[in-house]
């Protein structure tokens, strides 16, 4: 087994553990490369079907290509799909920096859909290598009723024994891709032929490395127009993946504060 | 004009954990290593400089890992993190673990995943409490490759003598737990001395730099050559197929294999391996997540372990474990927990704490409780039969975690030494017998005997006085007109059980046959007294079940209590002496466990009572329990 086989097997194991022990479940589908890989892994784990809804936290502000991709693949992958509308900017915590407030709309949208649907477990396609605070995450990460991440007292997690028991009202964030890197994701997309939003591929010297909403995500300078070229670019770049995500860079603790209060 | 780069294949990946006492410089080492190997992303160094000087510090390499505000403000790692870097040889995941004892659960969470470890020791402080505890835990967690970095050499003037002294100290300690470090090297993490490059101040050191050392570790592969274990995660019926899913933990599974499920002890043939968007595989190796269908429609649930018929897991409801305890309340006898083993969950109870380990001195002490963050040896029992392996032989299926209510509070490694495999005694081989009604009723037999039939089952250590009591009781009952007979080692081993030896399995079978024979005596209307050590509750429970099937309420478990010291002093046959000398193996109480009855029907303490007193009380007990008043006919 090579590295991708290992990662795939481990992620499938995680998906199946969650499915066996946590109910009801859903999967956040941001339509980015990671969440498409996650859907793909779910289809492998459950033999072609995704036995829980895919949820888009919709700010109404996603790029047009993203919405087009959604419409196509909800259909062709036979997904049960929930469009979760995010509250307006005015409803977010005004003490946060503006970019964080954009992100906080998603946090609020997530809280609302969890409360509405009573989800006990949510799959999210975050990875440790994206961001230092995410580097500290568990695979099964409990959140209390208010969605707060008690990151100073996380549960022990070892020998593939995950935290699946939580008090009433709480929920689990389940992270099947935590151990993957950005290059792993692209290699897997390549190997499996997983479709992705075309914005990832360079046009006129620009491409999106990470997809967020219109106002708070910027493309990077790049000529990588194929998966092979993206992989080659990533093998050598020293630019961080989320450099184009403005909300990470407001202040030293911007991302920690976002995550502590329930961001992905 | 587009080029088409051909991407090289993904490289080998090694997972490396950095452990050691608080403040000895683990995070600094990792941060520095990343810097020296050019693995920090653009802008990171400037960011580090800014957040360090904001706190009035020089550049703090540890902030690469310590990303929480609380960690930076208090200059301590709270939680484990993982970060990537690469050498020419391969890719690495470095797992930074916290050293503060408060965060041991986080250290364990990080370290358990690792293929190899670096134990960091402050040259000035030397080996400290958590250096030792981490060393010990690595060993329990199964991390076999360890290198030692003696850090902060700048604080001891790069003194070779000081390095040698610390190296000796750590070598001695690790030797005590059977670990031989792959290398011990002096470094100064903050300055980057001997991290990626050798340093002039340490020119006396001939060995490798830390970076060179890392490339010497071996990558760890999953054990395909070992016996097959596949814990069932779930059973899906999304369509007409009934698919069992799980991950192969060890061994190889092939379509067409005959497989055994434990603990249910069912067998079936694998019809197919299943996959989506790919050809169905013909075989699955250790590490692979698979789906499979069976030829037979068996009722199976999550938690069953699939194996081959050869070399299956053992079945038991009692086992011994070396465990580390993270719970707040002490772990002591009587504590009830949930054990998660593979995908199975069992309600378990602590029967005994046999030893606690002092990780500072490596002393093993008799103990009643394992304290928070402590290590000990305990006997656990579950009501349900469990499928287990020896952790020594099959680490993945020989280890378990403990849950207290919602929280994971410990982990342990299973040892079955001294405990029988119950699979051999659970199989009902005589499946084509038809029960035929007797023409004499139970009541008729009892009326003729003048008392009910039953079993008086004596259990206790060798030398507790079981046989003496049994023979004396037989005499007294006989004289009072009872139908009574004693089964003991002498009359049973000579005939009925002549083919059995003294291995744990044979002992279990010995007791099973005695239980069945005694049940027949009871059914025949007699009182059968048995005098066997019968050290395991599970064996006695089975004997009880055999009798109860025929004579409800007819089984009486009598604990002949006399503690080990008393029995050993009596030592009527000189057996204890031989056992102590190692001439007899598996001797109950010495080299093999004795489980006192959980809920005996009667206790005779021969340490306190004379034989006469004991027999008298037993006689009273028997008379009250087997008295039979024939129904008056009108
Ligand atoms: N003089 C000197 N100081 C060092 C060296 N390495 C680390 N330090 C300092 O030791 C202190 C502790 O370093 P850390 O890297 O945070 O220690 P740690 O082992 O990660 O600590 P915990 O994770 O909290 O257990 C910091 O102030 C470092 O700057 C070294 O080689 N020389
Ligand atoms: Mg640290």
State which ligand 1 atom lies nearest to the alpha carbon of B30: 15
What pLDDT sits at residue B307? 98
* Number of structural domains chain A divides into: 2
Is the Cβ of B100 closer than 8 Å to some Cβ of chain A?
Answer: no
- B411:A3 CB<8 A: no
Residues A52 and A115 in one domain: yes
Candidates B20, B28, B51: which one to mutate for ligand 1, based on the most atoms within 8 Å of Cβ? B28
Residues A233 and A138 in one domain: no
- B54:A19 CB<8 A: no
pLDDT class of B543 with cuts at 50, 70, 90: very high
Ligand 1 atom 7: residue of nearest CA: B25
Ligand 1 pocket (Cβ < 6 Å) reads: B 20, 22-28, 60, 62, 76-77, 98-100, 151-152, 154-155, 188-190
Evaluate whether residue B269 is within a structural domain: yes
Tell which wins on pLDDT, A257 or B374.
B374
How far, in Å, from the CA of B115 to the mean position of ligand 1?
24
| DSSP class per residue in B173-195 | HHHHTT---SEEEE-BTTTTBTT
Residues A233 and A126 in one domain: no
We report the CATH number of the domain holding residue B255 as 2.40.30.10
Angle between the N-to-C axes of helices A182-192 and A33-45, in degrees from 0 to 180, rounded to the nearest 10: 60
Q: How far is A137 from chain B (nearest CA, A)?
A: 8
pLDDT class of B242 with cuts at 50, 70, 90: very high
Residue of B nearest to A51 (CA): B238
Angle between the N-to-C axes of helices B611-626 and B466-479, in degrees from 0 to 180, rounded to the nearest 10: 50
Residues A72 and A104 in one domain: yes
Per residue in B361-412, pLDDT tens?
989 998 889 999 999 999 999 878 899 999 999 999 999 999 999 999 999 9
Residues A66 and A132 in one domain: yes
- On chain B, the residues whose CB falls within 8 A of the CB of A3 are 10-13
Cα B373 to Cα B330: distance, rounded to the nearest angstrom = 10
Per residue in B422-481, pLDDT tens?
887 665 444 344 555 677 888 888 877 778 899 999 999 999 999 999 999 998 888 777
Residues B613 and B565 in one domain: yes
Show which of B282, B308, B334 is a domain's final residue: B308
B145-151 and B116-122 as β-strands: parallel, antiparallel, unpaired?
parallel
- B13:A3 CB<8 A: yes
Residues A126 and A166 in one domain: yes
Residues B451 and B598 in one domain: yes
Evaluate whether residue B125 is within a structural domain: yes
pLDDT class of B418 with cuts at 50, 70, 90: confident
Evaluate whether residue B433 is within a structural domain: no
Evaluate whether residue A192 is within a structural domain: no
Is the Cβ of B95 closer than 8 Å to some Cβ of chain A?
Answer: no
Residue of B nearest to A190 (CA): B7
What is the span of the domain harbouring residue A100? Answer: 3-180+251-260
| DSSP class per residue in B356-380 | EE-TTT--EE--S-BPTTEEEEEEE
Q: Where are the beta strands (DSSP E) in B190-285?
A: 230-236, 243-247, 252-254, 258-262, 266-274, 283-285
Of B10, B287, B411, the CB nearest to A9: B287
Ligand 1 atom 2: residue of nearest CA: B152
Evaluate whether residue A157 is within a structural domain: yes
Evaluate whether residue B404 is within a structural domain: yes
Q: How many CB atoms lie within 10 A of CB A221?
A: 9
Are A160 and B397 contacting, i.e. CB atoms less than 8 angstroms apart?
A: no
Are B593 and B582 contacting, i.e. CB atoms less than 8 angstroms apart?
A: no
pLDDT averaged over chain B?
91
Per residue in B47-84, pLDDT tens?
999 999 999 998 999 999 999 999 999 999 999 999 99
Residues A120 and A11 in one domain: yes
Residues B176 and B211 in one domain: yes
Evaluate whether residue A186 is within a structural domain: no
We report the CATH number of the domain holding residue A83 as 3.40.50.620
Cα three-residue angle B287-B223-A184, rounded to 5 degrees: 35
Helix (H) or strand (E) holding A41: helix A33-45
We report the CATH number of the domain holding residue B95 as 3.40.50.300
Tell which wins on pLDDT, B199 or B441.
B199
Residues B204 and B120 in one domain: yes
The ipTM, to two decimals, is 0.94
Are B465 and B560 contacting, i.e. CB atoms less than 8 angstroms apart?
A: yes
- On chain A, the residues whose CB falls within 8 A of the CB of B343 are 17, 20
* Number of structural domains chain B divides into: 4
The answer, yes or no, to whether residue A220 has pLDDT greater than 50, is yes
Residues A131 and A233 in one domain: no
Residues B43 and B160 in one domain: yes
- B238:A166 CB<8 A: no
Residues A106 and A128 in one domain: yes
Residues B211 and B350 in one domain: no
Residues B326 and B380 in one domain: yes
Residues B150 and B97 in one domain: yes
Residue of A nearest to B66 (CA): A132
Evaluate whether residue A70 is within a structural domain: yes
Q: Is residue A57 exposed (0-12), middle (13-18) or buried (19+ Cβ within 10 Å)?
A: buried
Residues A203 and A129 in one domain: no
Q: What is the DSSP letter of B22?
A: T
Are B424 and B530 contacting, i.e. CB atoms less than 8 angstroms apart?
A: no
Q: Is residue B142 exposed (0-12), middle (13-18) or buried (19+ Cβ within 10 Å)?
A: middle
- B67:A135 CB<8 A: yes
Evaluate whether residue B221 is within a structural domain: no
Q: Which of A139, A20, A9 is CA-nearest to residue B222?
A: A9
Query: What Rg value do the Cα atoms of chain A yield, rounded?
Result: 17
State which ligand 1 atom lies nearest to the alpha carbon of B100: 25
User: What are the backbone dihedrals phi and psi of residue B81, each rounded to the nearest 5 degrees, phi first?
Assistant: -140, 165
What pLDDT sits at residue A65? 93
Evaluate whether residue B5 is within a structural domain: no
How far, in Å, from the CA of B15 to the mean position of ligand 1?
22
Evaluate whether residue B608 is within a structural domain: yes
Angle between the N-to-C axes of helices B129-141 and B104-111, in degrees from 0 to 180, rounded to the nearest 10: 40
Query: What's this model's pTM, rounded to 2 decimal places?
Result: 0.81
Of B42, B108, B407, the CB nearest to A238: B42
Show which of B188, B216, B244 is a domain's final residue: B216
Residues A171 and A210 in one domain: no
Residue B382 token pair? 């579950």
Evaluate whether residue A193 is within a structural domain: no
What pLDDT sits at residue B432? 42
Residues B292 and B343 in one domain: no
What pLDDT sits at residue B633? 39
Residues B354 and B337 in one domain: yes
Least confident of A84-93, A246-255, B341-350, B482-491: A246-255
Evaluate whether residue B337 is within a structural domain: yes
pLDDT class of B4 with cuts at 50, 70, 90: low
Evaluate whether residue A68 is within a structural domain: yes
B284-317 CB burial, b ≥16 within 10 A, e <16: bbbbbbbbbbbeeeeebebbbbbbbeeebbbbbb
Residues B388 and B519 in one domain: no
Residues B139 and B166 in one domain: yes
Cα three-residue angle B307-B309-B311, rounded to 5 degrees: 75
Evaluate whether residue A191 is within a structural domain: no
Q: How far is B288 from chain A (nearest CA, A)?
A: 6
Which contacts qualify for B564-570: CB closer than 8 Å, 24 or more apart?
Answer: B564/B461, B564/B589, B566/B463, B566/B464, B566/B606, B566/B607, B567/B461, B567/B462, B567/B463, B567/B464, B568/B463, B570/B463
Per residue in A66-95, pLDDT tens?
999 999 999 999 999 999 999 999 999 888
The answer, yes or no, to whether residue B484 has pLDDT greater than 80, is yes
pLDDT class of B299 with cuts at 50, 70, 90: confident
User: What are the backbone dihedrals phi and psi of residue A159, each rounded to the nearest 5 degrees, phi first?
Assistant: 55, 35
Show which of B308, B341, B356 is a domain's final residue: B308
Per residue in A58-67, pLDDT tens?
999 888 999 9
Are A62 and A214 contacting, i.e. CB atoms less than 8 angstroms apart?
A: yes
DSSP-derived 3-state class of residue A201: coil
Cα B272 to Cα B280: distance, rounded to the nearest angstrom = 7
Residue of A nearest to B77 (CA): A152
State which ligand 1 atom lies nearest to the alpha carbon of B75: 16
What pLDDT sits at residue A227? 97
Which of B131, B449, B462, B534 is catalytic? The answer is: B534
- On chain B, the residues whose CB falls within 8 A of the CB of A12 are 289
Strand order in the sheet with A121-123: A81-85, A54-58, A25-28, A121-123, A171-174, A140-143
DSSP H helical ranges for B142-267: 160-176, 210-216
Are A124 and A174 contacting, i.e. CB atoms less than 8 angstroms apart?
A: yes
Query: What Rg value do the Cα atoms of chain B yield, rounded?
Result: 31
Is B203 an active-site residue? no
- B403:A165 CB<8 A: yes
Evaluate whether residue A215 is within a structural domain: yes
Tell which wins on pLDDT, B261 or B584.
B261
Residues A17 and A142 in one domain: yes
What is the span of the domain harbouring residue B167? Answer: 13-216
């Amino acid at each position: 087994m090579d590295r991708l086989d290992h990662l795939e097997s481990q992620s499938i194991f995680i998906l199946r553990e969650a499915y066996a022990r946590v109910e009801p479940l859903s999967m956040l589908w941001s339509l980015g490369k990671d969440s498409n890989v996650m859907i793909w892994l779910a289809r492998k784990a459950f033999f072609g079907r995704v036995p829980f809804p895919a949820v888009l936290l919709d700010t109404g502000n996603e790029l047009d290509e993203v919405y087009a991709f959604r419409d196509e693949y909800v259909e062709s992958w036979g997904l049960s799909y929930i469009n979760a509308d995010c509250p307006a900017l005015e409803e977010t915590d005004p003490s946060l920096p503006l970019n964080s407030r954009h992100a906080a709309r998603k946090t609020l949208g997530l809280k609302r859909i969890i409360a509405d649907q009573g989800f006990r477990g949510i799959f999210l396609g975050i990875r440790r290598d994206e961001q230092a605070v995410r580097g500290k995450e568990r695979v099964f990460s409990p959140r209390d009723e208010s969605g707060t991440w008690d990151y100073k007292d996380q549960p022990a997690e070892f020998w593939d024994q995950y935290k699946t028991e939580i008090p009433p009202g709480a929920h689990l964030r389940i992270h099947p891709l935590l151990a993957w890197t950005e290059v792993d994701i692209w290699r897997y997309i390549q190997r499996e032929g997983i479709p992705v939003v075309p914005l990832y591929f360079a046009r006129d010297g620009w491409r999106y490395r990470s997809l967020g909403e219109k106002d708070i995500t910027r493309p990077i300078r790049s000529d990588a127009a194929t998966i092979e070229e993206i992989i080659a670019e990533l093998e050598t770049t020293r630019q961080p993946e989320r450099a184009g995500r403005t909300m990470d860079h407001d202040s030293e603790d911007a991302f920690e504060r976002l995550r502590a209060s329930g961001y992905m | 004009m587009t080029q088409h780069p051909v991407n090289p294949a993904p490289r080998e990946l090694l997972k490396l954990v950095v452990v050691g006492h608080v403040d000895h410089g683990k995070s600094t080492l990792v941060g520095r290593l990343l810097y020296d190997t050019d693995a920090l992303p653009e802008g990171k160094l400037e960011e580090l400089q800014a957040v360090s000087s904001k706190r009035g510090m020089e550049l703090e390499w540890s902030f690469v890992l310590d990303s929480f505000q609380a960690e930076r403000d208090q200059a301590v790692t709270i939680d484990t993190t993982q970060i990537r870097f690469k050498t020419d040889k391969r890719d690495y995941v470095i797992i930074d673990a916290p050293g503060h004892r408060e965060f041991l659960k986080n250290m364990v969470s990080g370290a358990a995943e690792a293929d190899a470890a670096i134990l960091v020791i402050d040259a000035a402080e030397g080996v400290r409490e958590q250096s030792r505890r981490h060393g010990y835990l690595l060993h329990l967690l199964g991390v076999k490759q360890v290198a030692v970095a003696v850090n902060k050499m700048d604080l001891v003037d790069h003194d070779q003598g000081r390095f040698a002294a610390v190296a000796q100290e750590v070598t001695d300690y690790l030797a005590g737990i059977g670990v031989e470090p792959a290398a011990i090297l002096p470094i100064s993490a903050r300055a980057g001395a001997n991290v990626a490059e050798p340093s002039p101040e340490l020119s006396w050191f001939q060995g490798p730099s830390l970076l060179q050392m890392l490339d010497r570790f071996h990558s760890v592969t999953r054990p395909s050559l070992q016996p097959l274990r596949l814990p069932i995660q779930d059973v899906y019926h999304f369509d007409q197929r009934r698919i069992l899913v799980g991950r192969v933990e060890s061994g190889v599974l092939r379509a067409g294999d005959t497989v055994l499920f434990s603990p249910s002890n069912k067998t079936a043939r694998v019809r197919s391996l299943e996959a989506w968007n790919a050809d169905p595989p013909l075989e699955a190796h250790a590490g692979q997540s698979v789906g499979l269908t069976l030829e037979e429609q068996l009722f199976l649930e999550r938690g069953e372990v699939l194996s081959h018929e050869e070399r299956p897991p053992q079945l038991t409801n009692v086992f011994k474990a070396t465990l580390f305890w993270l719970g707040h309340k002490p772990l002591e006898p009587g504590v009830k927990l949930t054990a998660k083993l593979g995908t199975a969950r069992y309600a378990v109870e602590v029967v005994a704490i046999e030893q606690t380990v002092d990780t500072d001195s490596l002393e093993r002490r008799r103990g009643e409780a394992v304290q928070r963050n402590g290590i000990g040896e305990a006997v656990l029992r579950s009501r349900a039969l469990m499928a287990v392996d020896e952790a020594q032989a099959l680490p993945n299926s020989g280890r378990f975690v403990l849950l207290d209510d919602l929280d994971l509070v410990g982990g342990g490694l299973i040892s079955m030494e001294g405990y029988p495999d119950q699979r051999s005694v659970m199989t009902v081989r005589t499946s084509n017998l038809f029960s035929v009604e007797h023409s004499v009723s139970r009541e008729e037999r009892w009326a003729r005997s003048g008392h009910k039939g039953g079993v008086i089952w004596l259990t206790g250590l060798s030398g507790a006085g079981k046989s003496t009591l049994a023979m004396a009781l037989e005499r007294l009952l006989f004289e009072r007109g009872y139908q009574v007979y004693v089964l003991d080692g002498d009359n049973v081993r000579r005939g009925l059980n002549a083919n059995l030896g003294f291995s744990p399995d044979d002992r279990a079978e010995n007791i099973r046959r005695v239980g069945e024979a005694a049940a027949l005596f009871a059914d025949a209307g007699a009182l059968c007294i048995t005098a066997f050590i019968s050290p395991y509750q599970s064996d006695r429970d089975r004997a009880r079940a055999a009798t109860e099937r025929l004579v409800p309420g007819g089984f009486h478990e009598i604990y002949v209590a006399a503690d080990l010291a008393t029995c050993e002093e009596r030592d009527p046959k000189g057996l204890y002496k031989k056992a102590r000398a190692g001439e007899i193996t598996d001797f109950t109480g010495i080299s093999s466990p004795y489980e006192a009855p959980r809920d005996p029907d009667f206790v005779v303490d021969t340490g306190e009572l004379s034989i006469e007193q004991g027999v008298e009380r037993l006689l009273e007990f028997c008379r009250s329990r087997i008295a039979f008043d024939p129904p008056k006919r009108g």
